[in-house]
Amino acid sequence: MEPSAYSVSLEIQNLHQEVEITSHGPTLRYHEEVKPTNGVSLTWNDLSVTVADGKSGGSRSILQGVTGYARPGEILAIMGPSGSGKSTLLDALAGRLDSKTRQSGDILVNGFKKSLAYGTSAYVTQDETLITTLTVRESVYYSAQLQLPSSMSKAEKKERAEMTIREMGLQDCMDTRIGGWGAKGLSGGQKKRVSICIEILTRPKLLFLDEPTSGLDSAASYYVMSRIARLDQHQGRTIITSIHQPCSKVFELFYNLCLLSSGRTVYFGDTNSVKEFFASNGFPCPSFQNPSDHFLRTINKDFDEDIEQGSSGRKPTEEVINTLIDSYKSTTTYQEVTNRVAEICKKGDETLEKKKNHARFSTQCLVLTRRSFVNMHRDLGYYWLRFAIYIASSLGLGTLFYHVGSSYSSVEAKSSMLMFVASFLTFMTIGGFPSFVEDMKVFERERLNGHYGTGAFVIANTLSSTPYLLLVSVIPGALAYYLTGLREGFDHFVYYSSVLFSCMLLVESLMMIVASLVPNYLMGIIMGAGIQAFMVLGGGFFRLPNDLPRLFWKYPLFYVGFHKYAYQGLFKNEFEGGKYAYNDIGGVPKTVDGEYILRNKWQVEMGYSKWIDLVIILGMVMISRVLFWVIIKIVEKVKSSTRGLLFSVPKKQSMQVMVNPLATPSH
């Protein structure tokens, strides 16, 4: 056994002995005295959250005056029936609430209103947004390279990644791919543990978990939660988790319980006293029944009608809930909680650990490029499928226009072929949109947790996709070019493939913008296809530039769409300097210049060279990538400023501006 693993198990054993002396039963808990000192204590006082009610025009309350705390070395479980506000409370504490919600009340970190530095807190969401093509080892190691500071060596990062994988019990599936989209990989519980691994790499002091056991059977739930509990106790981490219906073994792992019903606190306090609380109010937990089942059944009013119709003779649940809420406020537990919140706030400790450093920007770009390149290579839908379709389409195009010749009659055919290349081959780039949306989900999760910046993502995505786009533009492009018999000369072919490549890059950039605004496959594809359809129509081929209606089609669409520059660049490349023979009406042979065709047939702007057209398309690529970056930044700013604005409007005099512990990363 390795020395690090040995010391871990030894300390856990010590902890066990410590716990067994206490009267808390066979759970992994810290004794008060051994609680680590430099952890994060979170308190919230009179926390309320409302959301605008579209129907009535008023507002709907989601959380009402909730008070509580979470301390290092303890797991706080937030429980309640579906829709009771568990996720909302977790999001409020983590500073992740929807910008449409309004909140009031105090949330303090170690008694102070302050944001937590990067690496001090982490949030594991309910859905596992992981890169499905990577193995467990790769996922965690790439993440370690991104999150851990550059002062750590590669070997140290690798060791941290592998140690974290072992801590979460994933050593046996280290080289298994995550899987998804029909490719079987990890089980649900294993995926959840990978998500947790990624978030605890920086050893955060505060960990939020949103339903970490949803979709798992009781054995898997226990396995996941006990691993988390071990981490928590050993490393003095504060853990807040929302959970649906833990089995009794899982329930025993929690130190405190926050039981919610319709956004109100039914109970907050020690898990050992909750049974007694229910019993004292006339709702004792029957022997051999899972306590959490009993509590949730008692306060679940969603099925009241069935109860009324049945023969249970029970009180209406609303009445039961009100009794419990009122009774809770008169208990010593409630008093203790209020005192403890005040005590934590009074003690106050502003000396949280220093901000942890990220990996350098260049390292982030490099690691993200490598990770994205591997993913694009393994995900058949990203480029390979498209590559096959491009080959098929190019063969179709090449055989349709096979060796069209160089007479005047070939001009029409060559122009149509070039138009198809610039419009429809590039149009098919939207086929990679679903894979890109998956990438965006991973990016959003990692970005929200502050793993890296938007700039690094945009650069990495551009770099990693370049070789694939070159491949799909050069090989199918060459097939179509040479089968049709377009202009001879390698420089002409280079120009043609450069235009095709830049147009594909541009359509990808356009789809990135669409994905940042509409993160839904169907809507995104419809929107992307719609925008391109308009640009094709307004590109000056189907209607010549001078015939385009001035309003909208010519100004601005003709000039802002990339098709104009692609068509005109490709036409110049093909026809400029060429001579095309035809027979006059009387059968007299004549020739016509390429310039004449460009000016009079296609109304091409001849004041500048074809290279300027290419530069304009590349400029559009740059602008759209920057625009994508700006949109993400604006969305982040709007979200955080909306929160800031709402926090500064107190509900009542005593309420203060709340702190956003997981503030949106600023880098």
Contact positions vs ligand ATP (CB under 6 A): 51, 62, 80, 82-88, 98, 100-101
Q: How far is CA 60 from the centre of its chain?
A: 28
Least distance in Å: CB of 431 to ligand ATP?
Answer: 33
Angle, helices 433-448 vs 361-378, to 10°: value is: 150
Least distance in Å: CB of 204 to ligand ATP?
Answer: 22
Residues forming beta bridges with residue 107, ordered by sequence position = 44
Sequence-distant (≥ 6) Cβ neighbours of residue 652 within 8 angstroms: 104
Measuring CA to CA, how many Å separate 611 from each of 462, 499, 606?
Answer: 22, 10, 12
CA distance linking residue 572 with residue 607, whole number of Å: 12
Least distance in Å: CB of 226 to ligand ATP?
Answer: 22
Comparing C-alpha atoms, which of 253, 266, 248, 216 is closest to residue 86?
266
Measuring CA to CA, how many Å separate 267 from each of 258, 263, 333?
Answer: 6, 12, 9
Pick between residue 88 and residue 502 the one whose CB is nearest to ligand ATP.
88
**DSSP assignment of 519-586:** -SHHHHHHHHHHHHHHHHHTTSSSS-GGGS-TEETTEEHHHHSSHHHHHHHHHHHHHTT-EEEEE-TT
Pick between residue 445 and residue 572 the one whose CB is nearest to ligand ATP.
445
3-state secondary structure 211-246: CCCCCCCHHHHHHHHHHHHHHHHHHCCEEEEECCCC
CA distance linking residue 149 with residue 489, whole number of Å: 51
CA distance linking residue 68 with residue 340, whole number of Å: 9
Least distance in Å: CB of 228 to ligand ATP?
Answer: 19
Angle at 78 between CA 77 and CA 81, to 5 degrees: 130
Q: HSE of 52 in the Cβ direction (CA atoms, 13 Å)?
A: 6
CA distance linking residue 279 with residue 261, whole number of Å: 18
Sequence-distant (≥ 6) Cβ neighbours of residue 543 within 8 angstroms: 537, 553
**In terms of residues, how long is the chain?**
667
Structure tokens of 371? 């990770």
State phi, psi for 303 to the nearest 5 degrees.
-115, 30
Least distance in Å: CB of 213 to ligand ATP?
Answer: 12
**DSSP assignment of 475-525:** HHHHHHHHHHT---SHHHHHHHHHHHHHHHHHHHHHHHHHHHH--SHHHHH
Structure tokens of 464? 């990693």
Least distance in Å: CB of 644 to ligand ATP?
Answer: 18
Least distance in Å: CB of 296 to ligand ATP?
Answer: 10
Pick between residue 166 and residue 297 the one whose CB is nearest to ligand ATP.
297
Least distance in Å: CB of 278 to ligand ATP?
Answer: 20
Structure tokens of 164? 């974290």
Least distance in Å: CB of 160 to ligand ATP?
Answer: 32
- Asked if 123 contacts 96 with a C-beta cutoff of 8 angstroms, the reply is yes
Least distance in Å: CB of 302 to ligand ATP?
Answer: 10
CA distance linking residue 563 with residue 561, whole number of Å: 6
Least distance in Å: CB of 168 to ligand ATP?
Answer: 24
State phi, psi for 102 to the nearest 5 degrees.
-120, 140
Least distance in Å: CB of 96 to ligand ATP?
Answer: 11
Q: State the DSSP H helix or E strand holding residue 210, giving kind and residue range, or none if neither.
A: strand 206-210
Least distance in Å: CB of 306 to ligand ATP?
Answer: 19
Least distance in Å: CB of 294 to ligand ATP?
Answer: 18
- Asked if 360 contacts 157 with a C-beta cutoff of 8 angstroms, the reply is no
Amino acid (one-letter) located at 502: S
Pick between residue 208 and residue 390 the one whose CB is nearest to ligand ATP.
208
**DSSP assignment of 31-65:** -GGGS-SSS--EEEEEEEEEEE-TTTSSEEEEEEE
Q: How far is CA 17 from the centre of its chain?
A: 41
CA distance linking residue 554 with residue 558, whole number of Å: 5
Pick between residue 98 and residue 326 the one whose CB is nearest to ligand ATP.
98
Least distance in Å: CB of 84 to ligand ATP?
Answer: 4
Least distance in Å: CB of 51 to ligand ATP?
Answer: 4
Q: How many CB atoms lie within 10 A of CB 356?
A: 16
